[in-house]
Structure 1
Amino acid sequence: MRRFFFLEPPPDPEARRWPAPPDLLRHLRALRIGPAEEFLLLAPGAAAARPAHWSGGRELELGPEVPMSAPAFRPVLLATAWPKGARADQLVVRAAETAVERILPLRCARSVAGREPLRPARLARWRRLAWEACQQCRNPRPPVLEAEPLPLAEAVATAAGRRCFLLDPAGPPLLDLLADTNAEPVALFCGPEGGFAPAEREEAASLGLEPAGLGPTLLRIEAAGPLAAALCQHRVAAAHNQPCSRKET
């Protein structure tokens, strides 16, 4: 996939030359984009993009709109207890890198952070971090980050039509449960440090959530959900013969 940059709002559809915003110019200079390299400009999640070239000045040369293709991602909703401080940054970035479609804060009995709605300034910061992560890893569909934490039952109701997994160290391996090779939508439920309370586990079972394990060790909130999402995407990538992700310089 070609390199792309998110813009909101995107350039005027009729424009052929366009003054680039200062933030975009800084990115182009830092990445040493040359005149021969074509890149794309698009609104987050858009189905179409504008090809662009940069010759080192303040303006870009724009081509006509083209369809924006994307890898075959599995739709993944991550309902997760919210970590404290800078660990929330890591959660959002890793979720964006693993193509999570939607992040829903989960209010649990043992939650320490994330009991109140996420503040607008924090939301704006996390959305910017998600955009930057998506641009770097070539994921054109940044996750939607919800502001309102929900209790378990309400979160499950928002996941209607998805196969729902409760991340649990005692559960069977998630990869075994994902033996199907289609892109079935899933919802992953990740509890706080200390795990879900016994009453929440009983509620999850009554709501039809399937326990799913990620390995022999206990993972932090910011690691467990994105790792589970990566396993979900790996199954789909393998079915479509897509290459596994790699770090680019």
Structure 2
Amino acid sequence: MYVPQALPEGGELDLPHGAARHAQVLRLQPGDALTLFNGEGGECRATIIRMGRSSVQARIGAHAAIEREAARRVHLLAGLMASERMDWLVEKATELGAASLTPLLTQHCALRLSGPHAAKKHAHWQAVAVAACEQSGRNRLPLIHPPRPLAEGLAGQAEAGDGARFVLSLKPGAASLRAACAGLPAAQTVTLLSGPEGGLSAAEEAQALAAGFTPVSLGARVLRAETAPVAALALLA
């Protein structure tokens, strides 16, 4: 269970609302064991010491420096999609080990976000990532960025320095992502750019190429906007 705070061995803590509710749904009782993590690596065994109607208290055990991260850090830039599809992508990208995910505002986005609505969606995606970590056993949270324009996302990657950059493309002549992966060192950082339901426009793909992205293909079939980056992450893991 995710607890966004320090977890000192031997300490006692009141579980935050989400974790407490999870423990209650599982019908845990005093004396039962659970695993806690704070998203910064490793995890702790803990023991329930008190179950209340709306609160749960646990005693923290020893910290175990367990790592389940992929050797290769993959930063995903994905065109903003319809709500349920974006939720699914955040969930699966987290399970597959993406180091970060940046939703991009592009020409063909089906969803437009700004102001409080954007902030609410961002918080929701962070919660989806937490739940995916809890389900999959991942103990480091991916960084979920707020939505930003494509140009801003590309500029951020340019400032990040070294690392391979790929953009999923349907253009003839795009190299196979599988073949491109074969030539990469196992620990090579990768930035992967994928479009929304309508894909990237020709001008947007040209922007990506100018920013140092290499066009790559997942094969002859056209995959859904939420499926393509998941398939690519599986190849890159």
Q: Which runs of structure 2 are paired with 1:147-226 in the superposition (5 Å)?
A: 147-152=146-151, 153-170=154-171, 171-179=174-182, 180-226=184-230
Stretch moving more, 223-232 or 16-25? 16-25
Change (3 A) 1:56 1:38: same
Q: Are 1:42 and 2:46 matched, yes or no?
A: no
* Aligned residue pair count: 227
Q: Is the 8 A contact 1:116 1:149 kept in 2?
A: no
The alpha carbon displacement at 1:224 in A equals: 1.6
The alpha carbon displacement at 1:175 in A equals: 1.3
Structure 2 SS opposite 1:178: helix
Q: Is the 8 A contact 1:114 1:149 kept in 2?
A: no
Structure 2 SS opposite 1:221: coil
1:53 maps to a residue whose letter is T
Distance 1:197 1:71 in 2: 33
Distance 1:28 1:142 in 2: 20
The alpha carbon displacement at 1:222 in A equals: 1.8
Q: Is the 8 A contact 1:81 1:114 kept in 2?
A: no
Q: Are 1:107 and 2:105 matched, yes or no?
A: yes
The alpha carbon displacement at 1:47 in A equals: 3.3
The alpha carbon displacement at 1:32 in A equals: 6.3
What do residues 75-118 of structure 1 show as CA deviations (whole Å, max 9, x unaligned)?
A: 11111110022222112111111111111122323333246466
Distance 1:38 1:139 in 2: 18
Distance 2:222 2:114 in 1: 26
Structure 1 SS opposite 2:102: strand
Q: Is the 8 A contact 2:199 2:225 kept in 1?
A: no
| Aligned match of 2:15 | 20
Distance 1:114 1:161 in 2: 31
Q: Is the 8 A contact 2:3 2:16 kept in 1?
A: no
- Measured on the aligned residues, the alpha-carbon RMSD in Å equals 2.8
Distance 1:181 1:161 in 2: 13
Distance 1:34 1:227 in 2: 41
TM-score of the aligned structures, taking structure 1 as reference length = 0.78
Distance 2:112 2:208 in 1: 20
Q: Is the 8 A contact 1:54 1:60 kept in 2?
A: yes
| Aligned match of 1:242 | none
| Aligned match of 2:48 | 54
What percentage of residue pairs aligned between the two structures are identical? 26
Query: Of the candidates 63, 76, 80, which is equivalent to residue 61 of structure 2?
Result: 63
